[in-house]
Amino acid sequence: MSFILDALKKSEAQRQRADAPALYEMKMAPPRQGVPAWLLVLGGLLIINIGVLCVVLLRGNHSAAPQAAANTSGTGASAAPAPAAVMPPAAAAASPLAASAPATAPAGADDAPAVEAAPAPPVANGVNSGDVPTYDQAASAPGANLPELKLDLHAYATNPADRFVFLNMTKLKEGQSSPAGVRVESITPDGAILSWQGSRFFLQRQ
């Protein structure tokens, strides 16, 4: 009986060994074909970075070219003389030594010629210089015998106390008389009204 059991065990062991595949009989997995996914992703990112870098470099070159052209044109333009700045005329009434030249009205938008208004005769202390003869007219009158007068300096101001003239190199204010007896009646913006031995006349500034 034991002999039969031993024989059955041996046959069972031989059958199991026969069913189990030998080491050399085990099938090996075939090598994987194709490129791994991570390698594809890495390559795509590398290509995108290269493209972005090329775009940045091209834009930098295009912007540098107009800048260089602008610098060149600016250097050439600097050689030309700059136009002189036009200074606005100062207001005549702001200075004690104001000029009496009449202002010219600006031309209109349609380029029509400006019409210069005739200046009104200056009035000082209620006396209009147009109401008295000029020095030349008074000197040419028969028997006038006016002394030779010259207005060396003329200073007119809105405040009568600040007005003065240099008559034959003598400083006189309104109401004062020169050594020759010529009295300064009033000082106007364009001259002075003088009197001498009862004769009144207007002496225009130079």
Whether the predicted pLDDT of 50 surpasses 70:
yes
**CB proximity list for 105: less than 8 A, separation 6 or greater:** 114, 115, 116, 117
Please state, as a whole number, how many other Cβ atoms lie within 10 Å of the Cβ of residue 122: 19
Q: Does residue 166 contact residue 151 with C-beta atoms inside 8 Å?
A: yes
Full 3-state SS string of 24-50:
HHCCCCCCCCCCCHHHHHHHHHHHHHH
pLDDT, tens digit, for every residue of 11-32? 888 887 776 555 555 556 666 6
93: DSSP letter: G
Give the predicted TM-score (pTM) of the model: 0.39
pLDDT tier, 94 (very low <50, low <70, confident <90, very high otherwise)? very low
| Segment 56-85, tens digit of pLDDT | 888 877 666 666 665 655 554 444 454 555
Residue carrying the six token digits 């028969």: 142
Between the CA of residue 91 and those of 37, 73, 95, what are the distances in Å? 86, 41, 8
User: Tell me, what's the pLDDT at 176?
Assistant: 92
Domains of the chain: 127-204 (2.30.30)
Tens-place pLDDT, residues 107-153: 544 454 454 544 444 444 445 566 789 988 888 888 878 888 988 89
Q: Residue 99: what pLDDT? A: 44
pLDDT the model gives residue 196: 86
How many Å apart are CA 11 and CA 37, to the nearest integer?
52
**34-43 residue pLDDT tens:** 667 888 889 9
Let me know: does 194 contact 201? Beta carbons within 8 Å.
Answer: yes
Tokens representing 23? Answer: 């080491």
Mean pLDDT of 158-182: 92
